[in-house]
Amino acid sequence: MTTKTNVTIYYGPHSWFEKLIERKKSVYLLDAVNDRDESRRKFRHTIDGQEPQENPEPPPRPVNLVASSSDYASIQEHAISNFIGLVREISPKHLLLHNPPEAIHAQTDRVFKSKVIRYEYPVLTRETLMEFRDGFSDHLVGQTNVRERMLAALYQLTTPHRMKPVVVMFYGPSGVGKTETAQFINNLIGGKLLRKQFSMFHSDKFASYLFGGSHGEASFARDLLDRSSGVILLDEFDKANSVFHSAFYEVFDEGVLVDKNYRVDLGPTLIICTSNYGSEEEIRESLGDALHSRFDALISFDPLSKEEMGQVLERLVEAKLSKLSSAERSIIDSESIKTKILSRVSRTGNVRKLSKVVDETISLLLVRTLLNSDSQLNSLEAVGKESES
Ligand SMILES: Nc1ncnc2c1ncn2[C@@H]1O[C@H](COP(=O)(O)OP(=O)(O)O)[C@@H](O)[C@H]1O
Ligand SMILES: [Mg+2]
């Protein structure tokens, strides 16, 4: 008996795929494989003097057999290499594959002829550029140079013929708004930001993550296939060992990443790398000419000036106060807090530290008033001094 299976392959985020399929009529690949294994384990008895039973009815053909991105990791390597055999056995009317490994795509193409549907990632429009320009100072104090340089870089993504990514490197000290800027632009474009922190990987894991390992292992290409965001944030890019730099050549040039199992075509997307490099010269030296020249823009983030720190402090204190009860708020004299903290602000211009100092100072004031006891107050003061230093 020959049966026909229609194959549709979907490339895009999981939530999008789930919305497109008819769940009621669907059987998931893992369940189908388990059922099959289960029925194989059943063996038949024949009893003397009785006619052997007829073969049991084969299970009805599923309407949709569905495999989503994370399912391939759970089936065994031989089922991947003979995926067609598996599909023929289950014999669904439709096979719906979400972000399959290349090997599976190629097999299904050879045998069934498959249809491919790709998610359309949110695009950057001129309106987005305007929102970026006009909303920037609501999110970030200072860094006006960043705003201008980003507008120029983003503009390239609004041109209709652009097919490859725009790649920018944010560099500068910690806590001055690099990640915040990436988050802000992603919120304007839409989708959930894909953020990969390169310092989180150990070298051996990182190699299989970038170049592909066994099909069950975490993979950068698969994470890219699964993403919903228009922005890809490679945080702490300077922490990646230089042996991995070549993995990014083609990604940055063409937006293409091919690893052992997957292939992804990024198209006109925004890739932001962040680092703590101090200068363009340092970037060229550390990353090498080949990688350095592949960035569309290198954008420097400066430490905030004392005046800018004052503005951030203003925002932080107001934000913190708005979360307190009115009774608590009446205890706090916000002006004196601001003056006190500002006089101690260090010269690093690091906002992350500033926000901790604000939290601690306000908490200390509240707890002092609450306890209102001299002896406890003294010991708390000592704790406060320590954490300030
Ligand atoms: N220029 C800035 N203006 C206002 N808030 C800032 C600024 N820079 C950093 N912050 C705040 O400080 C925190 C750390 O900033 P982040 O962007 O993560 O720093 P990094 O430069 O290390 O990536 C965030 O909560 C962010 O909102
Ligand atoms: Mg950061």
CA-141 nearest atom, ligand 1: 3
- Number of the ligand closest to the Cα of 174: 1
Pocket of ligand 1 (CB under 6 A): 140-143, 174-180, 274, 304, 312, 351-352
* E strand or H helix at 66: strand 64-67
The pLDDT value given to residue 374: 52
Residue nearest to atom 4 of ligand 1 (CA): 140
Q: Are residues 292 and 359 in the same domain?
A: no
Going residue by residue through the chain (389 aa), what tens digit of pLDDT does each one get?
457 889 999 999 999 999 998 877 888 988 888 887 777 776 656 667 776 655 556 667 888 999 999 898 888 888 888 899 889 888 899 999 999 999 999 999 998 878 999 999 988 999 999 999 999 999 999 999 999 999 999 999 998 888 999 999 999 999 999 999 999 999 999 989 999 998 877 777 888 898 888 878 889 999 999 999 889 999 999 988 888 888 899 999 999 999 999 999 999 999 999 999 999 999 999 999 999 999 999 999 999 888 898 899 999 999 988 998 888 888 888 888 888 888 877 666 788 888 888 888 889 888 888 887 555 545 555 554 544 44
pTM for the model: 0.86
CATH number at residue 186: 3.40.50.300
Question: At which of 84, 118, 152 does a domain end?
Answer: 118
210 domain-assigned: yes
| Partner residues linked to 118 by β-bridges | 11
For a mutational test of ligand 1's pocket, the pick from 140, 145, 180, 356, i.e. the residue with the most ligand atoms closer than 8 A to its C-beta, is 180
Q: Are residues 31 and 53 in the same domain?
A: yes
CATH number at residue 28: 3.40.50
Exposure b/e, 209-242, CB count within 10 A at least 16 = b: bbbbbebeeebbbbbbbbbbbbbbbbbbbbebee
Residue nearest to atom 27 of ligand 1 (CA): 180
Question: At which of 118, 151, 184 does a domain end?
Answer: 118
Residue nearest to atom 13 of ligand 1 (CA): 352
For a mutational test of ligand 1's pocket, the pick from 144, 147, 150, 176, i.e. the residue with the most ligand atoms closer than 8 A to its C-beta, is 176
68's tokens: 């989503």
The pLDDT value given to residue 55: 58
CA–centroid distance, 35 to ligand 2, in Å, is: 47
44 domain-assigned: yes
CA-183 nearest atom, ligand 1: 17
Residue nearest to atom 11 of ligand 1 (CA): 351
> Hunting for tokens 């101690």 — which residue is that?
344
The pLDDT value given to residue 354: 85
The pLDDT value given to residue 388: 46
Question: At which of 118, 140, 161 does a domain end?
Answer: 118
Determine the structural domain holding residue 224 and report its residue range: 126-300
Q: Are residues 146 and 274 in the same domain?
A: yes
Residue nearest to atom 18 of ligand 1 (CA): 179
CA–centroid distance, 56 to ligand 1, in Å, is: 66
The pLDDT value given to residue 389: 44
